[in-house]
């Protein structure tokens, strides 16, 4: 299908042609206008079908974009839910870790050596005392150091006993933090999926706009063909009207001729009848004329 109508294929009708052409010429012109009108109507129908097909595809793309929009919004809602849960859990974990740190600070557990370190050092010093030959002064200093370590160990153990469920709190804090991490992972996964649907939505809308532009072009082509068809139809109707006028003129002329002939025959018959009344002899032809006019 060509993109534009060939104007050379159109049939033109001037006012002068309409008024001066004879019936034969006008009948031929009417046939040309009718055929071209039908061609243009067919062309307009084809273009309308193409336009409607593209409009349907546009609606499909818009529906597709809307589906992606709804899915994106649904996923974003889930992202928000997981974010809120993650933030809530992180806040709870921070609170528990702060509680552990505060208890450690209160008991000074973060300072000094651990129980294991102290027990190991005491064991080393005792081994040294048992296996090495020391002077009285060195042995006295070693015994004092061992006693000092034992006091530190006892103090450390006492503080640990006072710490109560500190390890349990720390473990709970770690569990809560791990659960928060799971929700954060969900946030990342769902956000990625939401972005995919967003991108697909944008692409579907872009394709819909392109198809709509094509549909608009085909609508313009349809209008062009339909207007040309309508013009040919209007001219066809004008020719038909003119032909009816010419038929009427011919009929009027024939009627006038018949009436004139009848008037002439009537006048002739009256003359014959008058002659008959005056005693003239009538032949067969004269008698027939009198019968036709009703005078006999």
At 31-64, the pLDDT tens digits run 999 999 999 999 999 999 999 999 999 999 999 9
∠222-225-226 over CA atoms, to 5°?
80
For residue 113, give both structure tokens: 């050596």
Q: Which residues does 93 contact at the CB level (< 8 Å), separation at least 6?
A: 173, 174, 176, 177, 180
Using an 8 Å Cβ cutoff, are 122 and 150 in contact? yes
Q: Which residues does 66 contact at the CB level (< 8 Å), separation at least 6?
A: none
Using an 8 Å Cβ cutoff, are 293 and 263 in contact? no
**What pLDDT is recorded for position 3?**
65
Using an 8 Å Cβ cutoff, are 112 and 152 in contact? yes
Q: How confident is the model at residue 210 (pLDDT cuts 50, 70, 90)?
A: very high
**What pLDDT is recorded for position 1?**
44
Task: Please provide the DSSP assignment of 44-62 as one string.
Answer: HHHHHHHHHHHHHHHHHHH
70-84, 216-230, 250-264, 275-289: least confidently modelled range: 275-289
**What pLDDT is recorded for position 295?**
65
Q: How confident is the model at residue 109 (pLDDT cuts 50, 70, 90)?
A: very low
Residue 111 has pLDDT above 70, yes or no: no
CA pair distance 207, 194, nearest whole angstrom? 20
Residue 67 has pLDDT above 70, yes or no: yes
**What pLDDT is recorded for position 57?**
97
Residue 246 has pLDDT above 50, yes or no: yes
Place of tokens 């809120």: 84
Please compute the mean of the pLDDT values over residues 268-294 and round it to a whole number.
Answer: 79
**What pLDDT is recorded for position 165?**
66
Which comes out higher in pLDDT, residue 207 or 274?
Answer: 207
Which comes out higher in pLDDT, residue 134 or 65?
Answer: 65
């Amino acid at each position: 299908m060509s993109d534009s109508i060939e104007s050379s294929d159109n049939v033109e009708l001037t006012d002068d042609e309409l008024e001066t052409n004879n019936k034969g010429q006008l009948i031929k012109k009417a046939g040309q206008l009718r055929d071209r009108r039908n061609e243009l109507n067919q062309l307009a129908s084809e273009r309308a079908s193409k336009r409607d097909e593209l409009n349907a595809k546009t609606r499909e793309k818009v529906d597709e974009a809307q589906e992606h929009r709804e899915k994106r919004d649904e996923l974003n809602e889930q992202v928000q839910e997981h974010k809120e849960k993650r933030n809530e859990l992180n806040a709870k974990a921070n609170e528990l870790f702060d509680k552990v740190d505060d208890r450690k600070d209160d008991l000074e557990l973060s300072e000094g050596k651990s129980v294991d370190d102290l027990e190991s050092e005491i064991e080393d010093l005792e081994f040294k005392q048992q296996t090495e030959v020391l002077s009285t002064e060195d042995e006295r200093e070693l015994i004092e150091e061992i006693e000092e370590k034992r006091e530190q160990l006892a103090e450390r153990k006492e503080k640990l006993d006072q710490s109560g469920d500190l390890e349990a709190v720390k473990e709970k804090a770690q569990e809560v933090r791990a659960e928060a991490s799971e929700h954060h992972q969900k946030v990342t996964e769902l956000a990625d999926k939401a972005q995919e649907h967003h991108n697909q939505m944008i692409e579907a809308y872009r394709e819909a706009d392109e198809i709509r532009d094509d549909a608009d072009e085909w609508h313009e082509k349809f209008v062009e063909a339909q207007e040309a068809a309508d013009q040919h139809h209007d001219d066809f109707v004008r020719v038909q009207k003119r032909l009816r006028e010419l038929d009427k003129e011919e009929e009027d002329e024939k009627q006038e001729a018949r009436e004139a002939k009848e008037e002439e025959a009537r006048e002739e018959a009256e003359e014959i009848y008058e002659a008959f009344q005056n005693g003239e002899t009538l032949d067969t032809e004269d008698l027939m004329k009198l019968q036709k006019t009703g005078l006999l």
